[in-house]
Structure 1
Amino acid sequence: MSQDPNPKTRGQASQGAPLGSILEQWKRERPDLDPEPMAVCGALRRANDRVRTAIEGNVAASGLDGPGFDVLLTLRRQGRGETLTPSELAGEMMLSTSAMTNRLDRLEKRGLIERKADPSDRRSLRVALTEDGFALADELVVGHLAVEEDLLAPLSGAERVELIRLLEKIGA
């Protein structure tokens, strides 16, 4: 199978019709509407799908899912021996605390995290990586960054900075 020489359409067959084609169809069918937001949001969605698929593929080899991976890396970036309460962890990950409980249960069963009583508040728990969890997080972050670097390879450093700036405007 030959590779599409046009970088604007390369790889789009698996992601649906080319966005330009979709826009032209809408312009023809509804000339009273500006379909440009469809192109921007469609491109974002396609990029997100590609990023998510690549990251999940990398993480799956470790037997983790995306949410478990997020917990491990969130705890790892706090530093060795550091802890977070489940509420703090949920806040760092932009999740509800109820969504956190099942994630923590699964990771604790695997021996990757432990819950400890908070010495300053016996009603509260602190979550920490075990040595196995710390080692796995350190291993996973290397592969994670390699996958992300591969995905972003077509962009220059300036383009990456600009993309972050633009996406932050939408996400704010």
Structure 2
Amino acid sequence: MSKKSWHHDKDKRQKWLQFMQDFHPQIDSQTIRLMDELGHVSRAIYQMGEQSVEDAGLSFAQYRVLMHLFFAEEMGERAELNPSEISDRQGVSRNTMSAFIRSLEEEGLVERRLDPHDRRRFNISLTESGRDVVRQHTRQHLGTIDRFFSVLSRDEQINLLNLLRKLSGQAAVSNSV
């Protein structure tokens, strides 16, 4: 018999709700449920991403580095990006990005070259192996995500997208305060 996850245990969720309301008694219990549900779905999608590139021996974060490079290359932006640009695109620290780049370089998926305009900096580009990994695993990853969202009708997907955009706008306003 499989053990219920915390998220699906009604009693534990009720205790969590009460625990949270003890901090802010005026909060609507539905707000806490929405926060928890969005967090659960977000983690589930991230885990699907992790699993979809696991066969390549990459973390999802490493795969995203490759994807940013591939996108910049394919869209004619540039064939190389510097580590700061990649870290900004991913929202991670430069130290974290350095570790990702180093490991991808060791795997032969990216290469580093001195910037011809500023010899103190270097740029990162994909190798052919890196491009192959992106091509192969992007199809698999997008198939996984497509199956995940197929549980929703087209109208439900549009409604969800509109609601998420509304929340995203509110998050941007809240973060700027």
TM-score (norm: length of structure 1)? 0.80
CA distance 1:18–1:152, shift in 2 (3 Å): farther
- 1:47 is aligned, of 37, 41, 50, to 41
> 1:5 maps to which residue?
none
Post-superposition shift, 1:140? 1.0
CA distance in structure 1 between the aligned counterparts of 2:142 and 2:26, rounded to whole angstroms: 44
**CA-to-partner distance for each residue in 1:138-166, whole Å, 9 max, x for gaps?**
11110110011011001233332332332
- 1:72 is aligned, of 52, 66, 76, to 66
CA distance 1:101–1:119, shift in 2 (3 Å): same
> 2:8 maps to which residue?
16
- 2:123 is aligned, of 122, 126, 144, to 126
Q: Give the ranges of 4+ consecutive aligned residues of structure 1 lying more than 4 Å apart after TM superposition.
A: 29-33
CA distance in structure 2 between the aligned counterparts of 1:93 and 1:37, rounded to whole angstroms: 28
CA distance in structure 2 between the aligned counterparts of 1:97 and 1:33, rounded to whole angstroms: 38
Structure 1: tracts of 5 or more residues without a match: 2-12
> 2:175 maps to which residue?
none
> 1:6 maps to which residue?
none
Give the aligned CA root-mean-square deviation in angstroms: 2.5
Alignment of 1:144-155 (within 5 A): 144-155=141-152
Aligned length: 157
Question: Is 1:88 matched up with 2:80?
Answer: no
Post-superposition shift, 1:33? 5.0
Question: Is 1:166 matched up with 2:166?
Answer: no
